[in-house]
Structure 1
């Protein structure tokens, strides 16, 4: 009886809400297109499913580069998990930086920041994803498998973004 109680308490502790740290994933790519073209493409949510493998669909007013305060809903498949996130633009510096904050079921889901900078022959693009671990279970899964899967999906997104923009898609 005592061992079962201890096991139950440990399992329950894995689900207790807490701040178990923030993960930051940075992906970069150089694209042979002007910064304003790259910025306009990546900040227009209707384009996300064209280049990011985790983005299945977007809905709402998604056919333009979103301004601060605008929102869009995205259906996603990230690291084997399907869901729906609402993204709200929190920063917009045209042809430089753009930031969105996401929520899933009313809980913070992460922050994505895009930065573009001119380089000879095109643009240096950086995508930064930050997300928190809200339980010990999530922190464990993130350390064991989720982070690696998200990094792989992000790297694939950079390759597809480069290919799409350089081919004119």
Structure 2
């Protein structure tokens, strides 16, 4: 009886340990969160607004505050620190602009506690009545446990928060006087 319990306990510890072992970046599953909205404003207006970090807390529900040079559209290499709450988890991320093609594309790479945390990319396309805005957030699972929880709970929560963000962005920009 005791031997069986010890075998079961050892098996459980091996399984839990395997779930928590960090995955190599090249094999960890990648998640893509994509949200799209049509905004009745010119691409340059939308681009300047979304790439200025001071505006993030006004439209993105996960953005609690930003620090650093936040008062202008960021260029490649510039950084900002954001306090966030994503899927109920609070933290701080350092974002670095990795790509900028005004006014069509902009990307930032995030780092949390020295570990890659994901990439946010904005793609803007001119439309007859304004701009097609696509927000894409990609991130990798650092462990099998995270991959499992992500698939069951987190991805849906993050998708919902991202969809709410672009809806708020549309409402906010379209309520501002055109100019």
- Note if 1:101 corresponds to 2:101: no
Aligned to 1:2: 7
1:20 Cα offset (Å): 2.6
Task: Give the aligned partner of residue 11 of structure 1.
Answer: 16
In the superposition, the TM-score normalised over structure 1's length comes to 0.98
Scaled by the length of structure 2, the TM-score of the pair is 0.93
Q: Which shows bigger deviation, 14-23 or 134-143?
A: 14-23
Partner in structure 1 of residue 140 of structure 2: 132
Structure 1 unaligned segments of length 5 or more: list them. none
Query: Which secondary structure state, in structure 1, belongs to the residue aligned with residue 132 of structure 2?
Result: strand
Per-residue displacement from partner, 1:42-83 (whole Å, max 9, x unpaired)? 000110000000000000001100000000000000001000
**1:23 match:** 31
User: For structure 2, which runs of at least 5 residues remain unmatched after alignment?
Assistant: 1-5
The number of aligned residues is: 169
Q: For 1:13-162, list aligned pairs within 5 A.
A: 13-18=18-23, 19-162=27-170
Distance in 2 (CA, whole Å) between partners of 1:141 and 1:62 is: 33
Task: Give, in whole Å, the separation in 1 of the partners of 2:128 and 2:77.
Answer: 33
After the TM superposition, which segments of 4 or more aligned residues of structure 1 sit over 4 Å from their partners? none
Task: Please give the per-residue CA displacement for 1:1-32, whole angstroms capped at 9, x wherever unaligned.
Answer: 11111111111111101143100111100000
